[in-house]
Chain A
Amino acid sequence: GNSVTQMEGPVTLSEEAFLTINCTYTATGYPSLFWYVQYPGEGLQLLLKATKADDKGSNKGFEATYRKETTSFHLEKGSVQVSDSAVYFCALSDHLGAGGTSYGKLTFGQGTILTVHP
């Protein structure tokens, strides 16, 4: 079955530091990949996504590249801010082949807590 593995946290950084959160996946077919962010007391919201190999998703200074050869989708940001403190989830959704139906079910990693200090 599908699975997603994220680097264990929590991650603590100083403001303006470089961020990497590793994510690797196991899936059949050609999944779409996502990063979701959960700010304190809120639900999850989509941060970025990539739907095919070599695609790069980006948003709010965050980037992640869909690497099929290494089955990875690592999240990076060049300079983090205090406001980036949150829980980050890597996820994949299933896609069936031509003629099939994508049921859109998401499989999540365990989440990585990021804390950024001033």
Chain B
Amino acid sequence: DADVTQTPRNRITKTGKRIMLECSQTKGHDRMYWYRQDPGLGLRLIYYSFDVKDINKGEISDGYSVSRQAQAKFSLSLESAIPNQTALYFCATSDLTSNNEQFFGPGTRLTVL
């Protein structure tokens, strides 16, 4: 079984809809991250969390919110999706023992029409 899983893997939605992307991990890591990937821009950090009670904004948090329901679960929500949020979204995990190495999920491809 994969250590970091994301659901759904693909989603097509319409402008104005609320969308939730989910991430689960079995690595036992405390730290979890959400990134979006756009062609030519690499990965940009949306939100990150160091434990269940800790949530921090990344460089592009506007239009997004997150929830850390448990150590193993970290969800990303788009309250009202817009077309420029069409992207590939990745969840990642790490902890102090991983020396800043992050472990990535397979990604969710989101299309907003």
Contact = CB atoms under 8 A, between A and B. Distances in A.
* 3 A-B pairs with least C-beta separation: A43-B104, A108-B42, A93-B100
Given A105-B45, A108-B42, A109-B42, A45 B104 contact: yes
Contact of B105 (A4, A43, A104): A43
Interface in B6-43: 31, 33, 40-43
Question: Range of interface residues on chain A?
Answer: 20 to 34
Interface of B: 4, 31, 33, 40-45, 48, 50, 58, 90, 92, 94, 99-107
A58 interface: no
Nearest to B6: A43
A111 B42 contact: yes
A82 interface: no
B101 to A, nearest CB: 5
Contact of B99 (A51, A106, A109): A51
* Chain B interface, >50% SS class: strand
Interface string A75-118: 00000000000000100010100000011111011110000000
A34 B104 contact: no
Contacts of A43: 4, 90, 104-107
A54 B49 CA distance: 32
Given A34-B101, A49-B101, A93-B100, A108 B94 contact: no
Contacts of B45: 105-106
Contact of A104 (B31, B43, B104, B107): B31
29 contacts: A4-B42, A34-B100, A34-B101, A36-B104, A41-B106, A42-B107, A43-B4, A43-B90, A43-B104, A43-B107, A44-B43, A46-B103, A49-B99, A51-B99, A93-B100, A95-B100, A102-B100, A103-B50, A104-B100, A105-B33, A105-B48, A105-B58, A106-B100, A108-B44, A109-B42, A110-B40, A110-B42, A111-B40, A111-B42
